[in-house]
Amino acid sequence: MNQNTNVEKTFSLALENHQKNNLKKAEDLYKQILAENPSHYQSVFFLGTLFAQSKKFDLAKQLLNKAITINKKDSNAHNNLGLVYRDLGQLEKAIDCFEKSIQIEPKHLDAHNNLGLVYKDSKELQKAIDCFEKTIEIEPRYALAYSNLGLVYRDLGQLEKAIDYFEKAIGIKPNHVGTHNNLGLVYRDLGQLEKAI
């Protein structure tokens, strides 16, 4: 009982530091828990996620695979592992992870969106469009999916359609810098420099 309470307190503190972006402190606390209990699921999962954030992809891959071994039904672990594989350029493995995540949780917005990004990276633009549209079908206010559709339509040279999607994204999330930047680039491509600026 006492050891369990201790672990939960330490985990709470680790998570708090993780959320505040005190990554070194969070990492130390997760490791402290895992030294006592190597199968503490949440510490395995969040430390793997932290390593992914820190671009320590080999460590992230190792821990997220371990998390999936402990709990095969956690769609977030599959999704986060997919992000690691995407960052490593292992797109087939990334696709597999995102599809598993969606299999477990069919309405997993991030997994649908991330799968679309991998298809965009692979130049399979129709599949990317399908994924982003599916994300919007599940959650019509998911701004990132609109923004990503804008990027795909820009790649396809359908600039008016790209503008439409970027503007929808901005309507939902007015302060998203990346979307404003991408909209500006499309206006530049169209030679509408005043709007681009």
Instruction: List pLDDT tens digits, range 56-99.
Output: 999 999 999 999 999 999 999 999 999 999 999 999 999 999 99
Confidence of residue 2 (pLDDT cuts 50, 70, 90): low
Q: How far apart are CA 130 and CA 153, in angstroms?
A: 12
pLDDT reading at 193 higher than 90: no
Which is it for the CA torsion 57, 112, 118, 190, positive or negative?
A: negative
Q: How far apart are CA 112 and CA 132, in angstroms?
A: 7
Eight-class DSSP state of 173: -
Q: What is the dihedral of CA 99, 101, 102, 105, to 10 degrees?
A: 160
Residues in Cβ contact with 125 at an 8 Å cutoff, skipping those fewer than 6 apart? 119, 152, 155, 156
Instruction: Take residue 6 and report the two structure tokens written for it.
Output: 């201790």
Residue bearing tokens 């201790």: 6
- C-alpha distances (whole Å) from 6 to each of 11, 34, 36, 161 are 8, 13, 11, 55
**What's the distance, CA 144 to chain centroid?**
11
Confidence of residue 4 (pLDDT cuts 50, 70, 90): confident
Name the 3-class secondary structure at 55: coil
Residues in Cβ contact with 31 at an 8 Å cutoff, skipping those fewer than 6 apart? 47
pTM over the 0.85 mark: yes
Other beta carbons less than 10 A from residue 91's beta carbon: 17
pLDDT 10s digits, 142-182: 999 999 999 999 999 999 999 999 999 999 999 999 999 99
Which residue type does 121 have? D
Name the 3-class secondary structure at 170: helix
Q: Quote the crossing angle between the two packed helices 143-155 and 177-189, to the nearest 10°.
A: 20
